[in-house]
């Protein structure tokens, strides 16, 4: 399998279907080798996603020193005790989902003198097993993060229920972002990124579509 061919195919699909709003591709690299990642870095890609704190730091700390343009996105569930490790290495967090985490992030930003960009994760399917702010609490939470904690909230993120059509959830998240005056949307993965783009996603998170044989 040629990883670069898969990457280029995804990029072409995104560019061909992003009309009014540019869509950024986040290449999800959890569990991937440095050799495979380097192939994509070498063609100038800058947005990469990880969801395991220690693995990502071990993997990326030297790469980030040599490639200052690279933007790392934390896309997994973030525990408060890992915040101090995440902030120095990451530029974006896509899974801000509770008051306690927001407070810790704000405190660590001040301590480390670094500002990140945040997506609020919304639990659109109201699934007990998933993280995310409820739709009913979303406006309050955004205002708390922006006005009380001075966090740079740029958009919303969602993970639609696995066995349902993603399209209606993407439409709903787009409306919630509009209602809360947020411009960025993190939605869409390897199996549904095309639907996400059509619904205005500005960041799609694709890993297996690039690195795994089954997506050839």
Domain containing 95 — which CATH number? Answer: 3.20.20.10
Domain extent for 43: 3-9+23-211
* Amino acid 116: pLDDT: 98
C-alpha angle 72-73-75 in degrees, rounded to nearest 5: 145
Q: Report which secondary-structure segment, H or E, holds 17.
A: helix 3-17
| Position 47 in a domain | yes
C-alpha to C-alpha distance for 121 and 118, rounded to whole angstroms: 9
C-alpha angle 190-192-197 in degrees, rounded to nearest 5: 105
Residues 6+ apart with CB under 8 A from 140: none
* Amino acid 1: pLDDT: 63
Contact between 139 and 77 (Cβ < 8 Å): no
* Amino acid 215: pLDDT: 55
Confidence at 130, pLDDT banded by 50, 70, 90 = confident
Residue 64 pLDDT more than 70? Answer: yes
| Position 60 in a domain | yes
C-alpha to C-alpha distance for 141 and 13, rounded to whole angstroms: 35
Q: What is the pLDDT of residues 133-142, one digit of tens each?
A: 999 999 999 9
Supply 107's token pair: 């405190």
| Position 156 in a domain | yes
Average pLDDT over residues 207-215: 82
DSSP for 33-70, written as a single string = -HHHHHHHHTTT--EEEE--HHHHHHHHHHHHHH-TT-
Residue 128 pLDDT more than 80? Answer: no
Average pLDDT over residues 162-167: 90
| Position 17 in a domain | no
* Amino acid 214: pLDDT: 57
C-alpha to C-alpha distance for 47 and 173, rounded to whole angstroms: 22
| Position 189 in a domain | yes
* Amino acid 208: pLDDT: 94
| Position 15 in a domain | no
Q: What is the number of structural domains in the chain?
A: 1
Supply 108's token pair: 């660590």
| Position 151 in a domain | yes
Supply 41's token pair: 């870095």
Q: Report which secondary-structure segment, H or E, holds 143.
A: helix 138-143
| Position 35 in a domain | yes
User: How many CA atoms within 13 Å lie on the side-chain side of 191?
Assistant: 9
């Amino acid at each position: 399998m040629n990883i670069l061919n898969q990457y280029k195919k995804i990029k072409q699909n995104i560019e061909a279907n992003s009309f009014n709003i540019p869509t950024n591709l986040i290449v999800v690299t959890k569990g991937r080798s440095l050799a495979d990642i380097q192939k994509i870095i070498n063609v100038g890609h800058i947005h990469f996603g990880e969801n395991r704190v220690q693995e990502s730091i071990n993997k990326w700390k030297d790469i980030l020193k040599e490639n200052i343009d690279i933007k790392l996105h934390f896309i997994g569930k973030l525990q408060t005790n890992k915040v101090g490790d995440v902030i120095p290495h990451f530029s974006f967090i896509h899974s801000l989902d509770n008051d306690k985490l927001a407070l810790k992030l704000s405190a660590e930003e001040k301590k480390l003198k670094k500002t990140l960009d945040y997506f609020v994760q919304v639990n659109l399917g109201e699934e007990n097993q998933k993280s995310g702010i409820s739709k009913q609490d979303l406006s309050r939470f955004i205002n708390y993060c922006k006005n009380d904690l001075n966090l740079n909230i740029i958009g919303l993120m969602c993970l639609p229920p696995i066995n349902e059509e993603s399209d209606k959830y993407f439409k709903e998240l787009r409306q919630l972002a509009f209602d809360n005056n947020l411009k960025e949307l993190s939605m869409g993965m390897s199996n549904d990124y095309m639907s996400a783009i059509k619904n205005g996603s500005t960041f799609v998170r694709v890993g297996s579509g690039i690195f795994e044989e089954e997506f050839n």
